Amino acid sequence: MEGAVRPTGPTRSLGWLVICFLVLPITIVFPVSLTDRRYLSLPQDAISFEHYANLFGSREWLGSIGQSLYIGVFSTVIAVAAGTLCAIGCWRLSSRASELVRALMLVPIIVPTIVYALGIYRFWVDFRLLDTYTGVIVVHAVTGIPYVVITVSTALAGFDVRLEQAARSLGASTWQTLWRVLLPGILPGLVSGAIFAFIHSWDELVVVLFIASRAVFTLPRRIWDGINEHLDPTMAAVAVILVLLTVVLLTVDITVRRKEDR
């Protein structure tokens, strides 16, 4: 690309330093998950897969993984549907009111999580949604909407409005234009929003601690209880799976964006 500014040596070195600072603390869970000890430590005498066996042989851990997956999928579907419609509506209006609505959609990730959790707890008491899948899914969907609004709004900013106008001039209805022209044109934004909403739901802990007790026991909460009770290295094995899942999802996101750019 002509006129592009290439990073200098010091800038590139600083960039790699920041990347290492962010990534290296995460990689420590890989050797810890292979420890031959019964507590969190690096392998001493040999590499052991015992803690992975404990993970996949435990009903509690597998149950929590299943619950997190169930909640994450349904909350992501709701967040993508609501966030996409909100972003498209604000894009069509293009007024100060739409900017205000877009800003309000970001409140769940702007307000401190502990404050939001307290408000949801009191709200859910009245609706009798404490310790229910419905209550947790709705909360995760609401807190996932901002990620969808951001990514879809960014995709809409680069969408060619003339494509939509051409479809309407050729006789396409509003829904046909939406499904066959608009949504395919902003697909990378949809995929990114879905991925970030799912990762957010998969990792969320604070709100679950407030609104769930025994019936809903997600994976982050299982890890939290394990830290409080005893430092079982099985948690490191779980952390490895979480990291790998996040890497896979982000790789999918990057792949979709590159194909769209081509």
Residue 233's nearest CA partner among 37, 26, 24 is 37
Q: Which helix (H) or strand (E) holds 213?
A: none
**Which token pair is 78?**
């709701």
| Domains of the chain with CATH codes | 63-261 (1.10.3720.10)
What pLDDT is stored for residue 228 in this prediction? Answer: 74
Largest CA distance in the chain: 73
Residue 130, CA distances (Å) to 7, 13, 123 in order: 52, 49, 9
What pLDDT is stored for residue 210 in this prediction? Answer: 93
pTM of the model: 0.87
Contact 192, 151 (CB under 8 A): yes
What pLDDT is stored for residue 5 in this prediction? Answer: 54
What pLDDT is stored for residue 211 in this prediction? Answer: 94
What pLDDT is stored for residue 8 in this prediction? Answer: 66
Contact 223, 235 (CB under 8 A): yes
List all residues 6 or more positions away from 219 whose beta carbon is below 8 Å from its beta carbon.
61, 64, 65, 67, 68, 202, 238, 242
What pLDDT is stored for residue 1 in this prediction? Answer: 45
What pLDDT is stored for residue 262 in this prediction? Answer: 64
Angstrom distance (rounded) from CA 163 to CA 182:
8
What pLDDT is stored for residue 7 in this prediction? Answer: 63
List, for the chain, all residue ranges whose pLDDT scores fall below the cut of 50. 1-2
What pLDDT is stored for residue 239 in this prediction? Answer: 87
pLDDT above 70 covers what percent of the chain? 95
